[in-house]
Structure 1
Amino acid sequence: MLSELISGERARTKIAALFDSESAAANAANRVQRTAGVPVGQVQLVCPGERHFGRKLEPETRGIVRTAIRAHVTLGLAGAVLGLIVYGVLYIAGNPAVVSSPYVAAVLAAVFGLVFGLLAGGLATARPDHQAVVTPVRDAIKAGRWAVVVHPASPQQCDDALKVLHGVSNEVVRTI
């Protein structure tokens, strides 16, 4: 899968559940650790008014840097290759603009492919899907509520954590 190739993070998915009390949130965090088998370091409790809650939502700063590098290199090269494939198709089809200046057309196709690949790498690094977790958690802690944030390292942990959290909260959100 492409996400495994470009991601430098151990936990690519983030799950959050929102609670009205500390005891409900703490109980949910404990249940996720016990029932879903998610280690303590992958379950974070975010309290109301917490100033630096972003560190609990995105704890893998080195992983994010690795993701940025991998995504840009991988998708940039893939874009350049795809641009050259398009060039080859146009050349074989006898496109007059390509046939009349084959070297220039090849370079331009590779450069345009590279640029689009780098743009895709930027989008993959930005992870716009994380807003589905960040925004509700931010709004909840501003409103005096608690959040449990889980960083599952495997699909099984993800499924198990979701089952546990859906059983104890009506407000569960996750990234892709």
Structure 2
Amino acid sequence: MSQAAVISEKFPHRVSAVFPNQSMADEASEALRSEAELEQEQIELVRPDDPGLERKVEHETTNIAWTIVRSHVGLGIIGFIVGLVVAAVFWGAGFEFATTRPGWLFILAGAVGAVIGLLAAGLVSVRPDHEPVILRAEQASERGQWTVVAYARDEPEKHRADEVLKEHSVRVTDSL
């Protein structure tokens, strides 16, 4: 299952950079628009002690909810099917425990596979890859610094944003 099939966010990738003042942050934002070809909706500027920091750093809360639903349904079903395939392999190989009670084997293997799939979906849903970007923005805001957060649709766009921000700041953080 591809990342796009599990993650419902329009902009699943984040790149952020920290700046000591607003003029440098504004300059980097403009460079993201002109050089990386990002649209205004893909760029957020987090100022020191910004009350809207959480919304600016993670602004797709509705789509994150759909990510939770899609990942749990999709990965739960995939886990269930993988469990059934494993049971079929054991049964086909003639293992005694598999041939004695094949019904229980298939039920148990399907259930275990589904649980493993649901656990994987939980990991995808929390988006631990966003944590470094969020943490860096919070720390910068508390220290009186400015953060530019760029949202990318795909890997090439993320790479362009990363390269542009590295030209303007030494403190660049990104997600997967």
Q: Counterparts of 1:86-101 in structure 2 under 5 Å?
A: 86-101=86-101
SS in 2 for 1:38: coil
Q: Name the TM-score, length of structure 1 as normaliser.
A: 0.97
Moved over 3 A (4+): none
Amino acid at match of 2:26: A
Partner of 2:135: 135
Q: Is there any run of 5+ residues in structure 2 with no aligned partner, and where?
A: none
Q: Counterparts of 1:12-161 in structure 2 under 5 Å?
A: 12-161=12-161
Amino acid at match of 2:145: R
Instruction: Find the aligned partners of 1:103 and 1:155 in 2 and give their Cα distance.
Output: 45
Instruction: Find the aligned partners of 1:169 and 1:144 in 2 and give their Cα distance.
Output: 16
RMSD: 1.0
SS in 2 for 1:170: coil
Q: Percent identity?
A: 32
**Per-residue deviation, 1:113:** 0.5
SS in 1 for 2:16: strand
Number of residues of Structure 1 aligned to a counterpart in Structure 2: 176
SS in 1 for 2:123: helix
Q: Name the TM-score, length of structure 2 as normaliser.
A: 0.97
Instruction: Find the aligned partners of 1:129 and 1:155 in 2 and give their Cα distance.
Output: 14
